[in-house]
C-alpha cells in the first residue's frame, strides 16, 4: 500500500509539471500582453517584458518558474494587483473558496444521499417521482441560475441573507452560494444513490442479513447504504472538481473574494502567473482528491482493505466500476 | 415488502425532521441576518454618513506611479492630493501647491507647497516627495506603464532620455529648491501642464516611508500607504472586493470634507449591483444599457460623459478600396448615429460627428472643444442620400460595383449590438457594400488592429489628459495608434507646430490650429466617429457633490455629502 501511495504521488508530481508546461505554452498563444495594450508604445512593451522576463524563450521561462515554484514562489501578478506576490493573493482567497465549496459538497452529498435513499425505498411511488424530478432539475439547471434566483428571492425580496459576500459574516454570506453550488452535486448523488441502493437492496446478502434478523435502520445504514457508498464516493470526487468550476461564476455573482473570481479576471486580462498558479492549485487539488478517494475505498469496504485489490485498481477499472456498478469488479 | 415500507416511512420522517431543522436554521439565520444584511453595506466604516459606492473592477495598484486604470486612480486620489486637484468642472485648482509661477517662455513651473500639508504619519509633504515620485515614474526599473505622461505628454526635461535608459533618473527636470518649493523644467511649453498635475502618475510619495518598507509591499495594505488627502485607507488587501476609507482628520482641507468615510464594493454582475442599490446597500451604482431603459425618468438616474470615443478605423494600407476617400465618406454618411445611441447603446451616450469627442477638453475661452457637433456636417452626418452619391463616385473611381468588408468587433454585448446595426445600416444605404462581422476577444482585436490585420474595426480611445491632442496625436504618420496607416504631411506639420513648434506659447492660435487639423481628419474621413460613451449611474437621493469626470479621475468624492 505504501509503495502504491508513493507511486501515485510521484505520478501526480509529473502530471502537475506537464500541466504547467502545457499551460505555459497555451498562454503564449493568448493574444496581447498582460499590460495595457491599447495605450502602450512598442518601447514600453520592451521595457515591461524585460522587467518581468517575458522576453525569454518559453522553456527558459518555464525552467525559472518551476525553480521558483519548488520554493513556494508563484511569481507576481502583472495587472490584477500589480507586483503583488501571488501566494499572498491566494492565501486569503483560497480558504474562502474552500469554505464555500466545502459547504456545498457537504450539503449536496447529505441531501443527495437522503433523496436517493428515499427514492430507492419508495421505488415507483410518487415520492420516487418527486425525488427524480428534483434530480433532473438540479442536473439540468446551471448553478448561476440558482444563484440569481436565490439572490433575488432570499436576498432581495425577503432580505434574509446578504446578497453580497461580507467578511464580517462569512458563514451567513456563504449560505446562498453554497446552496446554488450544491444543487448539481445533490442531484447527481441522489440519482446515483437511488440506482446503487436499488441494486444492493435486491441482492442476496441483503436477504441473508434480513433473514438473520437484522432490520430497521441498521439494515439500511450498515448493510445497504455502506455497500452502495463506494461508487458514490467515486462520483463525488469529480463532482467536487465540478464545484470548483461552478464557483467561477457563482463567486462572481455574490462578489465572493475567492480564487474562482480571481481566475476569471486573470484569464480575461492575461495575468499569466495568476492563471498558471491557480490552474496548478486546481490540478493539485483534483489529483489530491482522487488519491484520497482511492484510500477511502479501503476504509469503507473491508474487502479492499484486506486484499489491497481496490487500491491497485487502475483508472479504467475504476471508471468501469462507476459506470457499470460494483458487481463486475468485486464479487462476493 | 412491509419492511421496506416501514423503512421508507422512517427515512421520510428522518428527512422531514432534517428539513425542519434546516428550516429552523433558516429562521434563526434570518433573524440574525436582518442586521447582517443591512449592515453589510456599512461593514467597515460605520455610521450613516459613509458613502457606499460600487466599482466594477478591483484596484490594480495603489502605487500612483504604477496604477493605470480608472478605479485605481480614483481610490489613490481619495487619499492622495497632487499639486493640483480637479474642481467640479475638471479644471485644475491648487491643492498641495498653494500657488505657482510660470516663466515667461512657459518652460519653467515653480510650485509653492502649502505649509499645512502633512502625511498621515505626521511628516510634512515636501518638494522632495514629488521629485522622488516623478523620478520613480521615469525610471525604467519601475517600468511604469504611464511613464509617457512624463515624457511625450508632460515634456519634462530629460524624461524621454531617462525612460530610454540614456540618462540617469537624477537628471529629470524636477528639483526641490527647498522643502516647500518645487521647480519643474519642460522642453517645450505644455498648455495643459497644470491639468496633468491632478493625474496620479504625478502624485507625491514620501521617500523615507517608501524606503522603510519591505520591497514590493508599498500600497498593499493600510499600513503601507500614507495619506495626504481627504480620506485615509482603513481596510484593504491586494485585489480586495470590498475595502473602506475613513475621513482624514488632519487633512488641510478637512473642514470641507463632509463624509465620515467611503465603502467600496466591487460587483461584476450588473444585476446584483442594481439589486444591492435598490436594497439600500449601495448609494452609487453603475448601470448597464438595458438597466437604464428600466429606470428612464427616475430622478436618481444620473448620466456622465465617460470620454471614450467609439469609432470605425479603416485599414487604408491593407485594403485598396478603403484608400479611396469617396468610399470612406460614403461609410461616414451611411451610419445613423442617433439611432445607435438611442436604440442600441441607450445609456446616454452621445452621437458623435467630430474626431475629438465632446465633454472633456475646454479651450482658452472655457468652451468645450467639440460642443458644436455640426461643424463638420458637410463631411460627416447621418445622410443616406449623400452616402449613395459618394458611393457612386467611389464605384466609378475604383471601377468596382461590389465591396465586402470584414467588420472586426470585440466580444462585449454592446460592441456586438452596435456592429450589427452598423452592418444593417451600411448594407441598406450603400447597395453593393457587404459587411461581415468578425467577433474577437478584446486583447485579440487590439493586437489585430495594431498589426494591420483587419479591414474595418469598431474601436475606442479614452483621453489621457484634457486636451484635444490626446486624440489628434494618434493620426500623425507612424503613430502606434494610427491603425489605418493614413498619412498626410500637412496634418503632421500642424500637429508638430502645436506640440513643439510655433503655437506652443499661443493658446488661442494653437486652439485654432487644432481645429484645422481635425478638419483634415474629417474631410478625408480618416476615421468614422460613432458615439461618445457615457456612464449611467443611480445616485441615492440625498447624496450630493459627487463629481464625475471623463479624464484622469472618473469620480471624486471629496466634496460629496450624504443627506
Over the stretch A82-91, which tens digit does the pLDDT of each residue have?
A: 888 999 889 8
Residue A223 has pLDDT above 80, yes or no: no
Query: Which alpha helices (DSSP H) does A169-257 contain, by range?
Result: 170-201, 204-211, 217-218, 226-253
pLDDT per 10-residue tile (average), chain B, 563 residues: 42 37 34 34 59 94 93 96 93 95 95 96 97 95 90 94 93 96 95 94 97 92 96 94 95 94 93 92 91 90 92 95 96 96 92 94 88 94 96 95 96 93 96 95 89 95 92 92 94 94 89 96 96 94 94 94 88
Give the mean pLDDT of chain A.
82
| Percent of chain A residues past pLDDT 90, beyond the cut | 18
Nearest CA in chain B to A210: B3
Contact B33 A215 (CB under 8 A): no
pLDDT of residue A107: 92
Pairing of strands B50-55, B261-266: parallel
Residue A153 has pLDDT above 50, yes or no: yes
Contacting B residues, span 330-389, partner chain A, CB-CB under 8 Å: none
How far apart CA B145 and CA B141 sit, in angstroms, is 12
Pairing of strands B242-247, B261-266: antiparallel
The overall longest dimension of chain B from CA atoms, in Å, is: 105
Q: How confident is the model at residue A319 (pLDDT cuts 50, 70, 90)?
A: low
SS3 label, residue B51? strand
The phi and psi torsions of A192 (rounded to 5 degrees) equal -70, -45
How far apart CA B349 and CA B340 sit, in angstroms, is 9
pLDDT of residue A1: 65
Contact A41 B26 (CB under 8 A): no
Of A53-57, A179-183, B129-133, B291-295, where does the model show the most confidence?
Answer: B129-133
DSSP B118: B
pLDDT of residue B99: 96
pLDDT of residue B40: 36
Partners of residue B164 in chain A, C-beta under 8 Å: 43
Contact B3 A215 (CB under 8 A): yes
The ipTM, to two decimals, is 0.81
- Residue A169 host element (H or E): none
Which of A89, A168, A255 minimises the CB distance to B266? A255
pLDDT of residue B47: 61
Partners of residue A253 in chain B, C-beta under 8 Å: 269, 272
Partners of residue A151 in chain B, C-beta under 8 Å: 272, 275
Contact B145 A39 (CB under 8 A): yes
Q: How confident is the model at residue A316 (pLDDT cuts 50, 70, 90)?
A: low
Mean pLDDT, residues A220-234 taken together: 77
Q: How confident is the model at residue A26 (pLDDT cuts 50, 70, 90)?
A: confident
Distance from CA of B282 to the nearest CA of A (A): 11
Contact A164 B480 (CB under 8 A): no
- Distant-in-sequence, close-in-space partners of B274: CB < 8 Å, separation ≥ 6: B285, B287, B291, B538
DSSP B182: E
Burial of B170 (0-12, 13-18, 19+ CB in 10 A): exposed
* B508 touches A: beta carbon within 8 Å: no
Cβ-based contacts under 8 A for chains A and B: 194
Contact A169 B29 (CB under 8 A): no
* Closest listed residue to residue B304, CA positions, set B508, B89, B116: B89
Do the Cβ atoms of A155 and A192 come closer than 8 Å?
A: no
Contact A37 B443 (CB under 8 A): yes
Which of B29, B34, B60 minimises the CB distance to A81? B60
Mean pLDDT, residues A244-259 taken together: 86
Q: How confident is the model at residue A247 (pLDDT cuts 50, 70, 90)?
A: confident
Query: Which alpha helices (DSSP H) does B120-158 contain, by range?
Result: 127-138
Contacting B residues, span 25-54, partner chain A, CB-CB under 8 Å: 26, 29-30, 32-34, 36-40, 43
According to DSSP, the residues that pair with B351 across neighbouring strands are B531
Helix axes A2-28, A272-300, angle to 10 degrees: 160
pLDDT of residue B34: 34
Distance from CA of B63 to the nearest CA of A (A): 9
Contact B443 A270 (CB under 8 A): yes
Cell of B111: 510650485
pLDDT of residue A265: 87
Contact B145 A168 (CB under 8 A): no
Between B268 and A224, the more confident residue is B268
In a mutagenesis test of the B interface, which of A83, A176, A221 is the best target, namely the one with the most B β-carbons within 10 Å? A83
DSSP B303: E
The phi and psi torsions of B501 (rounded to 5 degrees) equal -100, -140
Contact A122 B59 (CB under 8 A): no
Distance from CA of A32 to the nearest CA of B (A): 5
Partners of residue A152 in chain B, C-beta under 8 Å: 275
Contacting B residues, span 105-124, partner chain A, CB-CB under 8 Å: none
pLDDT of residue A24: 85
Torsion angle of the four alpha carbons B22, B24, B26, B27, in this order, in degrees rounded to the nearest 10: 170
Which of A35, A80, A156 minimises the CB distance to B239? A80
Partners of residue A38 in chain B, C-beta under 8 Å: 446, 461, 481
pLDDT of residue B11: 42
Between B485 and A312, the more confident residue is B485
The per-residue pLDDT for range B507-562, each reduced to its tens digit, is 899 999 999 999 999 999 999 999 999 999 999 999 999 999 999 899 999 999 99
Contact A83 B66 (CB under 8 A): yes
How far apart CA A205 and CA A201 sit, in angstroms, is 9
Nearest CA in chain A to B480: A41
Nearest CA in chain A to B15: A114
* Closest listed residue to residue A269, CA positions, set A16, A15, A30, A7: A30
Amino acid at each position: 500500500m505504501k509503495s502504491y501511495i508513493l507511486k501515485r504521488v510521484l505520478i501526480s508530481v509529473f502530471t502537475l509539471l506537464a500541466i504547467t508546461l502545457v499551460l505555459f505554452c497555451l498562454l503564449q498563444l493568448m493574444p496581447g500582453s498582460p499590460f495595457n495594450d491599447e495605450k502602450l508604445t512598442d518601447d514600453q512593451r520592451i521595457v515591461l517584458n524585460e522587467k518581468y522576463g517575458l522576453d525569454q524563450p518559453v522553456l527558459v521561462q518555464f525552467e525559472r518558474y518551476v525553480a521558483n515554484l519548488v520554493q513556494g514562489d508563484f511569481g507576481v501578478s502583472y495587472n490584477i494587483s500589480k507586483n503583488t506576490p501571488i501566494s499572498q493573493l491566494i492565501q486569503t482567497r483560497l480558504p474562502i473558496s474552500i469554505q464555500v465549496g466545502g459547504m456545498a459538497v457537504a450539503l449536496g452529498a447529505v441531501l443527495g444521499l437522503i433523496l436517493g435513499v428515499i427514492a430507492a425505498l419508495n421505488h415507483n411511488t410518487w415520492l420516487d417521482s418527486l425525488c427524480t424530478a428534483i434530480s433532473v432539475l438540479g442536473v439540468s439547471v446551471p448553478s448561476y441560475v440558482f444563484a440569481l434566483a436565490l439572490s433575488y428571492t432570499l436576498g432581495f425580496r425577503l432580505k434574509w441573507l446578504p446578497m453580497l459576500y461580507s467578511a464580517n459574516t462569512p458563514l451567513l454570506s456563504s449560505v446562498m452560494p453554497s446552496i446554488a453550488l450544491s444543487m448539481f452535486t445533490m442531484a447527481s448523488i441522489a440519482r446515483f444513490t437511488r440506482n446503487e441502493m436499488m441494486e444492493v437492496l435486491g441482492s442476496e446478502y441483503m436477504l441473508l442479513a434480513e433473514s438473520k434478523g437484522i432490520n430497521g435502520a441498521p439494515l439500511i445504514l450498515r448493510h445497504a447504504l455502506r455497500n452502495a457508498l463506494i461508487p458514490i464516493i467515486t462520483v463525488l470526487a469529480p463532482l467536487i472538481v465540478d464545484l470548483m468550476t461552478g464557483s467561477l461564476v457563482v463567486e462572481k455573482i455574490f462578489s465572493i473574494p475567492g480564487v474562482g473570481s480571481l481566475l476569471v479576471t486573470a484569464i480575461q486580462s492575461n495575468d499569466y502567473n495568476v492563471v498558471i498558479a491557480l490552474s496548478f492549485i486546481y490540478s493539485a487539488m483534483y489529483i489530491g482528491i482522487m488519491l484520497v478517494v482511492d484510500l477511502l475505498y479501503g476504509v469503507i469496504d473491508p474487502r479492499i482493505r484486506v486484499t489491497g485489490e481496490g487500491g491497485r485498481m487502475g483508472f479504467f477499472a475504476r471508471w468501469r466500476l462507476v459506470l457499470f456498478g460494483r458487481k463486475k469488479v468485486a464479487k462476493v | 415488502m412491509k419492511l421496506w415500507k416501514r423503512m421508507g416511512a422512517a427515512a421520510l420522517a428522518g428527512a422531514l425532521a432534517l428539513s425542519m431543522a434546516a428550516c429552523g436554521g433558516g429562521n434563526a439565520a434570518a433573524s440574525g441576518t436582518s442586521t447582517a444584511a443591512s449592515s453589510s453595506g456599512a461593514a467597515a466604516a460605520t455610521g450613516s454618513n459613509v458613502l457606499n459606492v460600487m466599482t466594477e473592477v478591483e484596484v490594480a495598484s495603489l502605487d500612483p506611479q504604477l496604477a493605470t486604470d480608472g478605479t485605481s486612480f480614483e481610490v489613490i486620489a481619495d487619499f492622495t492630493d497632487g499639486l493640483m486637484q480637479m474642481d467640479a468642472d475638471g479644471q485644475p485648482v491648487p491643492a498641495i501647491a498653494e500657488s505657482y509661477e510660470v516663466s515667461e517662455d512657459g518652460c519653467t513651473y515653480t510650485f509653492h507647497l502649502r505649509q499645512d500639508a502633512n502625511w498621515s504619519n505626521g511628516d510634512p509633504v515636501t518638494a522632495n516627495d514629488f521629485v522622488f515620485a516623478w523620478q520613480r515614474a521615469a525610471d525604467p526599473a519601475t517600468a511604469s506603464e504611464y511613464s509617457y505622461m512624463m515624457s511625450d505628454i508632460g515634456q519634462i526635461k530629460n524624461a524621454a532620455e531617462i525612460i530610454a535608459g540614456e540618462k540617469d533618473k537624477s537628471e529629470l527636470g524636477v528639483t526641490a529648491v527647498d522643502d516647500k518649493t518645487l521647480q519643474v523644467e519642460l522642453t517645450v511649453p505644455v498648455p495643459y501642464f497644470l491639468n496633468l498635475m491632478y493625474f496620479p502618475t504625478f502624485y507625491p510619495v514620501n521617500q523615507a516611508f517608501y524606503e522603510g518598507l519591505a520591497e514590493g509591499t508599498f500600497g498593499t495594505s493600510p499600513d503601507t500607504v500614507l495619506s495626504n488627502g481627504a480620506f485615509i485607507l482603513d481596510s484593504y488587501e491586494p485585489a480586495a472586493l470590498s475595502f473602506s476609507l475613513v475621513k482624514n482628520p488632519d487633512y488641510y482641507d478637512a473642514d470641507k470634507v463632509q463624509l465620515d468615510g467611503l465603502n467600496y464594493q466591487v460587483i461584476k454582475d450588473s444585476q446584483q449591483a442594481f439589486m444591492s442599490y435598490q436594497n439600500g446597500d449601495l448609494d452609487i451604482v453603475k448601470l448597464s444599457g438595458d438597466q437604464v431603459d428600466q429606470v428612464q425618468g427616475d430622478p436618481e438616474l444620473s448620466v456622465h460623459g465617460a470620454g471614450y470615443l467609439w469609432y470605425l478605423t479603416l485599414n487604408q494600407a491593407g485594403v485598396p478600396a478603403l484608400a479611396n476617400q469617396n468610399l470612406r465618406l460614403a461609410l461616414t454618411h451611411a451610419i445613423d448615429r442617433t439611432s445607435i445611441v438611442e436604440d442600441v447603446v441607450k445609456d446616454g451616450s452621445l452621437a458623435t460627428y467630430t474626431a475629438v469627442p465632446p465633454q472633456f477638453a475646454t479651450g482658452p475661452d472655457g468652451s468645450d472643444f467639440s460642443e458644436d457637433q455640426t461643424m463638420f456636417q458637410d463631411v460627416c452626418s447621418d445622410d443616406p442620400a449623400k452616402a449613395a452619391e459618394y458611393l457612386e463616385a467611389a464605384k466609378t473611381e475604383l471601377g468596382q460595383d461590389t465591396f465586402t468588408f470584414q467588420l472586426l468587433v470585440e466580444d462585449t454585448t454592446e460592441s456586438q449590438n452596435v456592429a450589427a446595426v452598423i452592418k444593417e445600416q451600411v448594407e441598406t444605404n450603400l447597395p453593393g457594400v457587404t459587411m461581415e462581422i468578425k467577433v474577437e476577444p478584446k486583447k485579440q482585436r487590439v493586437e489585430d488592429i495594431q498589426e494591420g490585420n483587419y479591414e474595418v474595426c469598431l474601436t475606442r480611445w479614452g483621453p489621457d489628459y484634457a486636451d484635444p491632442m490626446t486624440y489628434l496625436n494618434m493620426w500623425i504618420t507612424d503613430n502606434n495608434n494610427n491603425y489605418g496607416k493614413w498619412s498626410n504631411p500637412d496634418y503632421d506639420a500642424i500637429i508638430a507646430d502645436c506640440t513643439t513648434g510655433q503655437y506652443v506659447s499661443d493658446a488661442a492660435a494653437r486652439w485654432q490650429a487644432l481645429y484645422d487639423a481635425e478638419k483634415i481628419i474629417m474631410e478625408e474621413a480618416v476615421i468614422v466617429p460613432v458615439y461618445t460613451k457615457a456612464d449611467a449611474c443611480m445616485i441615492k437621493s440625498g447624496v450630493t457633490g459627487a463629481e464625475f469626470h471623463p479624464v484622469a479621475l472618473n469620480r471624486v468624492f471629496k466634496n460629496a455629502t450624504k443627506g
